[in-house]
Structure 1
């Protein structure tokens, strides 16, 4: 039995802790803040509740596997999962709307044909078939297995089988998600639909590889799910599973250094001057972990190098307490697309929030999140530059952008502004305080191609006994990926370097 210290109580860290405890190890989690969950937080006031991180879950099988492997009670015995239908309502720049059924290719094709015109659904359906090929080619190496030693294969090969595009005398294949949209989908509304799946992770579709086609495919193939009571309930369930498996949690414990002994990770130092000795350390993001080792390199020159967290984009979340009941037929999620997609993307270059943002609206039909049925809790989310690129703490900055978000949301929800009792605005500055990520950036899932620009460093490091977990290491950001990072770290510790992933 090894003594294992885990830095942070994010979803990936807790997933690793639970699995390691079941394997017989003595696991202690040290969290800088006063609660668990990382970015999976809840804001509560006056009987209203709001998810301030992810609002929906894809690939619930990742967490089903975690609960199966760590106890007798399955996931559904600990939380109530509800499949959201429609998966989303989309309101486009020209006012066109479409509601997309959850996990139904035929239903999606029919809905798009009816809303956007004959042939639109067919083009999207054909795209999903090609996206499935990319998913099948990358699912195991980018989600279920430790990062390959020959990761260059993933970096060099574009797994998305794009349609040849003839222009003048040249034939080209799409190399970016924007080119997939322009050449294969053509309709600007379908392009907006496609690119919104990248934008949610702060990815510019003009730079994002075509392999990002797997992002809408995951939603289509595995559905989108809501956890009754809010996604924060999933974090609670994982935390309680850890406690049931005798994982010890220490909150308010700020780690300031990783101890080394005989070339191995051997413990932690804390801000209060205390020290704990361990046999193994499971760390946070690779950049922050290197800082805890006085800048020591965690990876060799031939490995995927960590990229600054500050380069990632963040999100602004506006929690709206509304008077008036939620309509019975309201969609859980609505995406209001920007009126000027080019301007929105161009604003990210100089680090400016967009003048007309794409806004995601979450309206859960959940009595647990409202004081009574005469009120409604709504969450607006938009992708923005991180705190390192734009000062969200400047006077009026957050409220001015929140006003723009409310105006955009009003295109989908007439009379929204008049219903607002109060609002709470949360920016990347809040995310930075809650997660420790520089600038409050949000990590994207690992993606193939693009010379490895969106691959994440390996979970094992060149320092024996030191591992990384969470969205800034393999396999990247997102709730399913966080859960898988925990599974991969646990596998590498329990089975050793020969571990090759779940079967």
Structure 2
């Protein structure tokens, strides 16, 4: 048999490759860049190290399952996983701040009541209860079952939005409208919108079902990988190699070869032809897809130690943007205990950024205005624009895909895992079930399942 060609070495592609290899298939990964991991990259300088893509992990069960099914060593023996608790400090536009605990709905209710007033916690809890209804309705069809072209058509938005007296909408509400109707506090609305904005979604455009993102994080928690998220990519690459996957870097695929209506291999840019029984390829990236945005990141090498008790994550809810501040307490990221490595991130449109240094100044100033005292401690900084992300990942304009969502007439779907022609399968953030590190891992499982079990496979039970 000719084996399987996997195009790209992102997290979805490697998740598929590991599963295919452990099933006895010969797998070759063709990556046009010089390394693996997709968006999970690292920048290192002068003893400092930073994640330049996602800095935290949600739904670690996706990778626990992958490592259990592809080898003897579980995920926790390959990387260090830490629960992030408290989950985050939120600073709102009016200066109000609240620190929310992780893994405790009751603790979140109490914290919101104390910071925002009696009843705030219950309104938030009631909304999460409705978000759970949406999660229960969409978890399997949108996350655990593979997608096929035209499969089932658009999925209706299952979020059971409550209706305020006298209010009748002629269409399903957006996430922003749900926040206005049900939370009745601009700070709670910013809190809900922040969960969507962190994925690049605009609450004014996202369907109400995007409330599941808040439910997921507050139910299943947020996790940090010791040494940074790049360590997760390293561990998955190592698992692939241990299972016999061959990696070829600097191997740009010019086109997928076809014969008799079936994918038969890949032709490289240098003219080399690699025969294959099937091809796993990324979904087609689209910088203009609904919800597609890009990351603007400022890496700060700071003099002075990380302040004791400082939350790992602070979210600054400004009037026009969300700024995420990550301050991991990890000695692997700094030259010594007298320094700190901090990452500031804002979501921006894909493509060039006008005056990136000025925008970086704005993000640092926002952090300082929230009392974080970063600007006076900067030893040096590195600014990473969407075009830097594009150069590393080849995504157009540095666009980052959002996760798949129900509603919106199907606009929030991604490319199907079962591709065309026959023998073509899709994995990665631009394929079903969309963007995010956990979702990319799911896409690899779905593509591998279809390839191994047949095109009628409905997902693991």
Partner of 1:197 in structure 2? Answer: 195
Alignment of 1:17-416 (within 5 A): 17-147=17-147, 151-152=151-152, 155-167=154-166, 170=168, 175-286=173-284, 308=288, 312-338=292-318, 340=319, 344=320, 357-387=321-351, 391-392=352-353, 397-416=355-374
Q: Which residue of 2 aligns with 1:351?
A: none
Q: Give the distance between the partners of 2:291 and 2:172, measured in 1 at CA.
A: 25
Q: Aligned residue for 1:348?
A: none
Instruction: Give a deviation string over 1:294-324, Cα, whole Å, max 9, x none.
Output: xxxxxxxxxxxx8856972101011000001
Question: Does the Cα contact within 8 Å between 2:175 and 2:209 map onto a contact in 1?
Answer: yes
Count of residue pairs the alignment pairs up: 461
TM-score, normalised with respect to structure 2: 0.97
Q: Deviations over 1:145-201 (max 9, x none)?
A: 012676446x25221111122236x47786110011000001100000000111112
Distance in 2 between residues matched to 1:440 and 1:428, nearest whole Å? 5
Match of 1:502, SS state, is coil
- Deviation track 1:452-478 (CA, whole Å, cap 9, x = no partner) reads 010112111230111111111100001
Q: Distance in 2 between matches of 1:171 and 1:282?
A: 43
- Judging changes above 3 Å, is the alpha-carbon distance between structure 1 residues 471 and 110 closer, same or farther for their aligned structure 2 residues? same
- 1:233-255 Cα distance to aligned partner (Å, 9 max, x none): 00000000000000000111111
Contact 1:2 1:25 in 2 (8 A): no
How many Å apart are 1:386 and its aligned residue? Answer: 0.5
> For the Cα contact (< 8 Å) 1:325–1:374, is it kept in 2?
yes
Q: Quote the residue 2:388 is aligned against.
A: 430
Q: Does the aligned pair in 2 maintain the 1:98–1:111 contact within 8 Å?
A: yes
Distance 1:139 1:307, change over 3 A: farther
Q: CA RMSD in A?
A: 1.7
CA–CA separation in structure 2 for the residues paired with 1:499 and 1:402: 48
Q: Partner residue of 1:446?
A: 404
Q: Which runs of 5+ in 2 are unaligned?
A: none
CA distance in 2, matches of 1:447, 1:429: 27
Counterpart CA distance in 1 for 2:404 and 2:169 is: 29
- What 5-or-longer segments of structure 1 have no aligned partner? 288-305, 345-356
Q: Partners of 1:94 and 1:413 in 2: how far apart?
A: 14
State the distance in 1 between where 2:287 and 2:388 align. 21
Task: Say whether the 8 Å CA contact 2:262–2:421 is kept in structure 1.
Answer: yes
Separation (CA, whole Å) in 2 of partners of 1:482 and 1:59: 11
Give yes or no for contact 2:99–2:111 (8 Å, CA) kept in 1.
yes
CA contact (8 A) 1:174 1:180 kept: no
SS of alignment partner, residue 44 of structure 1: strand
Task: Tell me the SS of whatever aligns to 1:165.
Answer: coil
The TM-score, its normalising length taken from structure 1, stands at: 0.89
Deviations 1:358-378 (A, max 9, x none): 210000000000011100000
Q: 1:39 to 1:213 in 2, by over 3 A?
A: same
